[in-house]
Amino acid sequence: MKSVWDSAFGLLLVTGGLLGLTLPFGKIATGEGVPAMLWAFVISFGAGGVLLLVLLARRHRFVLTAHKLRYFAIAAAISYAVPNMLMFSAISHLGAGYTGIMFTLSPVITLVLSILLGVRRPNLLGIAGIAVGFVGALMVALTRGEAGQPAELFWVFVGLLIPVSLAAGNIYRTYDWPEGTGPTELAVGSHLAAAAMLLAGLFSTGSAGSFSLLSGLPLLMLAQVASASAMFAFFFRLQAVGGPVYLSQIGYVAAAIGLIAGTFFLGERYALLTWAGAAIVTAGVVMTTRAQSQAA
């Protein structure tokens, strides 16, 4: 029997579940006035710092190369800094559950980008899955957030950019993975690079004073850093074991956590069309996943 560390399915459940916790945590934090850029910084700096201490405790030897530095910078921007800023900016307008549904589009968009970039050849099932996923996404987009509280179309568009950025990151990290480098080291480098970018953004926009807001949320910040640190350790392991398209399915698990947390703990309510659209997106994800299995 495979351990969770060696099982793609086990890693998928753990990683997606931990990612899903970011949605309610982020909504609570931004609801308390914490800027999206600052909460994204908390995640990247906290996770990168904790994982760095783990590597130092193991006496890990760091060898920086130009390839690794390039990887850290690009992965930091498109995988963490940008999507987290988008997510925390939109979540107070769209709701944790609705924003989580955006994650489910990542596998479909990952496949689209893989086809456009020539990484994979399309087959009939894959094309059908993309079409089904698009229909589901359109249904979800039309509801514009929580029932009775439609968000502006701008915020729906921001939400839709989240899976696009995540999909680009899924493909890039696999394509440019530095040979011989472990997943935890890549997580440390990418997150500390993202934290540096976000910190520079906070100072350049005059938002550095907002750090004082974190003093009122110590337990929430601790929970967020702990879950993010664990998630990213599993995240890069799943990248290595399952590949980019399988990895992108963590969005399905995260969306389920976001919908459950939003509905039962944050008082969010969604229209029937939103749930139906989410179910159709899920069907599209299943089809694209099977298409990837056939291609493999």
Evaluate if residue 127 carries a pLDDT over 90. no
> Regarding predicted confidence, which is higher, 231 or 77?
77
259 falls in which pLDDT band (50, 70, 90)? confident
pLDDT attached to residue 188: 92
Evaluate if residue 87 carries a pLDDT over 50. yes
Question: pTM surpassing 0.75?
Answer: yes
Evaluate if residue 296 carries a pLDDT over 60. no
Mean predicted lDDT score pLDDT of the chain: 87
- If you average pLDDT over residues 83-109, what whole number do you get? 89
Are 102 and 281 in contact by the 8 Å Cβ rule? The answer is no
- If you average pLDDT over residues 260-282, what whole number do you get? 88
pLDDT attached to residue 233: 75
Evaluate if residue 89 carries a pLDDT over 70. yes
- If you average pLDDT over residues 108-112, what whole number do you get? 80
Note the pLDDT tens digit of each residue in 3-51.
Answer: 777 777 788 889 889 989 999 999 999 999 999 999 999 999 999 999 8
> Regarding predicted confidence, which is higher, 36 or 138?
36
What share of the chain has pLDDT > 70, as a percent? 95
pLDDT attached to residue 144: 84
pLDDT attached to residue 1: 43
Evaluate if residue 180 carries a pLDDT over 50. yes
68 falls in which pLDDT band (50, 70, 90)? very high
Note the pLDDT tens digit of each residue in 145-159.
Answer: 887 888 899 999 999
104 falls in which pLDDT band (50, 70, 90)? confident
- Which of 164-173, 185-194, 230-239, 272-281 is the most confident on average? 185-194
